């Protein structure tokens, strides 16, 4: 087992096939898998055409109404725990797969992505195994009474469309509750990161999950496997994580069939730092929040409002946080920040670097591209970047960049800070830093977001609700809220 800091072996050429009805299937068309740290092609994924998507949905329907959907809770949850065990037994393979697709530093994937992949299955297996049901004893005119209760039924076939930033973590965050509820799933991983979904298919098979209960179709979104899947008449519900405008396109695709949808979308998250905050804790935590995973976390704070008395100290602190990061290959133990995911995403982020300057930013740290003098110069690296001096209304402060950036602005009162934080089309997450408990509660209740962290970031019990307000999403998942989406309640009333 490779230890943190040791050089991992680089992967052999990857060949990621679709997984349909318990078998890997090939297709005629391929998409390239590219190493974001060098820009080199390292493999290919098989693009699912209409026939493959049809087969995957039909296999899922058979499993949902057969071997998988009719399995008792005890056996279903036992198999899902075996999937968690299987991920852990093949931890290093999952680690390599995630690293080679995303370029993220080994330590990030080792500490966060892969363990959460396994944990998602255990959490939802436990939840479904221990769920109770409310039962009401109801009066009737004849005095005999009635018993009234509700049972949960699976929806049938759930389409799961995933992004590239935390591929295994975010895919299993939806696969685990959907399957725990007895649904069969068809997963469409991001075209950038097909690998861990393909490995998960092997684990599902080895764990004894019946054929057809878990299927993977690779490909692009619009006009490809993604669009074919979500609009498929055999799909009963769609759950999606990704950009807001993709969510809107999916909503149009499913409009006529009135399928339930759950959307976890983009964000432009504020951090609010009050003068009474412990800057010794706030600065490193917000450095991590802004730059972890090269800023490619939907919950990352890209705009930071800081109370004027500590503004200068905070800016200096964030500059130091950005400048201490070491860019490089994920296979190098010294690396603390990896590349962006793709050439297209790098161009988008660099366009925002230019726009920030045009909009009047002072570039406090970064603002360019690191130079290595070796094959990493072909990779998609950008410098972690800190701006000051931008108007709150600047585009850079309103649009999601999804890179290692933060724009810092001063404020004078609590009311002003809350108003600035709320003045956004998005409403995913916020982080508030204060030593005043009442103020922490007050600000958290006033912020229009799905989750507010006070004196922390990215900390969450998986049984609590997760989702976004405004353009950041539709619905809530997590704990019983996931069970609410992935199952349907049937009310039963028994006259005694």
Rounded to a whole number of angstroms, the minimum distance from the CB of residue 299 to ligand NAD is 7
Can residue 221 be called a binding residue for ligand NAD (CB under 6 A)?
yes
Chain positions 387 to 406 lying near ligand NAD, rule: CB under 6 A, are 400, 402
Rounded to a whole number of angstroms, the minimum distance from the CB of residue 177 to ligand 6OD is 11
Out of 48, 298, 315, 318, the only residue in the binding site for ligand NAD (CB under 6 A) is 298
224 vs 269 by CB, closer to ligand 6OD: 269
Among 156, 167, 226, 384, binds ligand NAD (CB under 6 A): 226
Does 165 help bind ligand NAD (rule: CB under 6 A)?
A: yes
Closer to ligand NAD by CB, 36 or 333: give it: 36
Whether residue 298 lies in the annotated active site: yes
> Does the protein bind ligand NAD through residue 215 (CB under 6 A)?
no
173 makes contact, choosing from ligand 6OD, ligand NAD, none, with CB < 5 to 8 Å by partner type, with: ligand 6OD
Among 38, 190, 431, 482, binds ligand NAD (CB under 6 A): 190
Binding flag, residue 37, ligand NAD (CB under 6 A): no
Q: Is residue 264 annotated as a catalytic residue, yes or no?
A: yes
- 230 interface partner picked from ligand 6OD, ligand NAD, none, CB below 5 to 8 A per type: ligand NAD
Please tell me whether residue 241 binds ligand NAD under the rule CB under 6 A: yes
Q: Which of 86, 210, 267, 367 binds ligand NAD (CB under 6 A)?
A: 267
3-state secondary structure the chain: CCCCCCCCCCCCCEEECEEECCEEECCCCEEEEEECCCCEEEEEEEECCHHHHHHHHHHHHHHHCCCCCCCCHHHHHHHHHHHHHHHHHCHHHHHHHHHHHHCCCHHHHHHHHHHHHHHHHHHHHHHHHCCCCCEEEECCCCCCCEEEEEEEEECCEEEEECCCCCHHHHHHHHHHHHHHCCCEEEEECCCCCCHHHHHHHHHHHHHCCCCCCEEECECCCCCCHHHHHHCCCCCCEEEEECCHHHHHHHHHHHHHHCCCEEEECCCCEEEEECCCCCHHHHHHHHHHHHHHHHHCCCCCEEEEEEEHHHHHHHHHHHHHHHHHCCECCCCCCCCCECCCCCHHHHHHHHHHHHHHHHCCCEEEECCCCCCCCCHHHHCCCCCCEEEECCCCCCHHHCCCCCCCEEEEEEECCHHHHHHHHHCCCEECEEEEECCCHHHHHHHHHHCCCCEEEECCCCCCCCCCCECCEECCEECCECHHHHHHHHEEEEEEEEEC
What residues from 399 to 438 belong to the interface with ligand NAD (CB under 6 A)?
A: 400, 402, 428
From the list ligand 6OD, ligand NAD, none, pick the one residue 409 interacts with, judged by a Cβ distance below 5 to 8 Å according to partner type. Answer: none
Min dist CB 164 to ligand 6OD, Å, is 10
- 126: buried, middle or exposed (CB in 10 Å: 19+, 13-18, 0-12)? middle
Q: Given the complex with ligand 6OD, which of 11 and 468 has the nearer CB atom?
A: 468
Per-residue contact track with ligand NAD, 123 to 162, x per CB under 6 A?
--------------------------------------xx
Catalytic option among 227, 298, 321, 406: 298
Catalytic residue among 264, 302, 359, 400: 264
**C-beta separation of 47 from 225 below 8 A:** yes
Determine if 259 is a binding residue for ligand NAD (CB under 6 A): no
Least separation in angstroms between CB 112 and ligand 6OD = 9
Which residues make up the interface to ligand 6OD (CB under 6 A)? 165-166, 170, 173, 297-299, 466
Q: Which residues carry out catalysis?
A: 264, 298
By the criterion CB under 6 A, which residues form the site for ligand NAD?
A: 161-165, 170, 188, 190-191, 220-222, 226-227, 230, 241-243, 246, 249-250, 264-267, 298, 400, 402, 428, 468, 473
């Amino acid at each position: 087992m490779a230890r943190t800091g040791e050089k991992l072996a680089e992967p052999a050429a990857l060949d990621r096939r679709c997984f349909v009805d318990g078998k890997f299937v090939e297709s005629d068309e391929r998409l390239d898998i590219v190493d974001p740290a060098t820009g080199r092609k390292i493999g290919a994924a098989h693009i699912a055409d209409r026939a493959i998507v049809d087969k995957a949905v039909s296999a899922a329907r058979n499993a949902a109404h057969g071997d998988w959907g009719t399995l008792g809770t005890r056996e279903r949850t036992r198999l899902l725990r075996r999937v968690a065990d299987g991920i852990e037994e093949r931890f290093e393979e999952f680690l390599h797969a995630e690293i080679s697709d995303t370029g993220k530093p080994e330590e990030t994937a080792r500490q966060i992505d892969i363990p959460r992949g396994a944990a998602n299955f255990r959490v939802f297996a436990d939840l479904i195994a221990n769920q109770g049901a409310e039962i009401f004893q109801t009066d009737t005119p004849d005095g005999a009474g009635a018993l009234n209760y509700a049972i949960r039924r699976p929806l049938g076939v759930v389409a799961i469309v995933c992004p590239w930033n935390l591929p295994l973590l975010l895919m299993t965050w939806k696969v685990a509750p959907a399957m725990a509820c007895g649904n069969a799933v068809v997963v469409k991983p991001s075209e950038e990161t097909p690998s861990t979904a393909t490995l998960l298919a092997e684990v599902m098979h080895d764990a004894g999950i019946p054929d057809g209960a878990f299927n993977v179709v690779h490909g692009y979104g619009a006009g490809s496997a993604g669009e074919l899947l979500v609009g498929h008449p055999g799909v009963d519900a769609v759950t999606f994580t990704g950009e807001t405008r993709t969510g809107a396109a999916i909503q149009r695709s499913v409009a006529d069939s009135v399928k339930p949808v759950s959307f976890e979308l983009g964000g432009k998250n504020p951090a609010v730092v009050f003068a009474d905050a412990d800057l010794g804790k706030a600065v490193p935590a917000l450095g991590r929040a802004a730059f972890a995973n090269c800023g490619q976390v939907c919950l990352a704070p890209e705009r930071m409002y800081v109370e004027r008395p500590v503004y200068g100290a905070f800016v200096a602190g964030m500059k130091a946080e950005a400048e201490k990061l070491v860019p490089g290959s994920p296979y190098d133990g010294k690396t603390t920040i990896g590349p962006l995911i793709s050439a297209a995403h790098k161009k988008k982020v660099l366009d925002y670097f230019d726009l920030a300057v045009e909009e009047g930013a002072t570039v406090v740290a970064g603002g360019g591209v690191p130079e290595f003098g070796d094959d990493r110069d072909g990779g998609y690296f950008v410098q972690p970047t800190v701006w000051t001096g931008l108007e709150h209304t600047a585009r850079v402060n309103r649009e999601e960049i999804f890179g290692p950036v933060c724009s810092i602005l001063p404020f004078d009162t609590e009311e002003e800070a809350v108003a600035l934080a709320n003045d956004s089309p998005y409403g995913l997450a916020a982080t508030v830093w204060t030593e005043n408990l009442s103020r922490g509660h007050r600000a958290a209740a006033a912020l229009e977001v799905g989750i507010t962290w006070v004196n922390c970031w990215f900390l969450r019990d998986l049984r609590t609700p997760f989702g976004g307000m405004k353009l950041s999403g539709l619905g809530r998942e997590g704990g019983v809220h996931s069970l609410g989406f992935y199952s349907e309640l049937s009310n039963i009333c028994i006259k005694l």
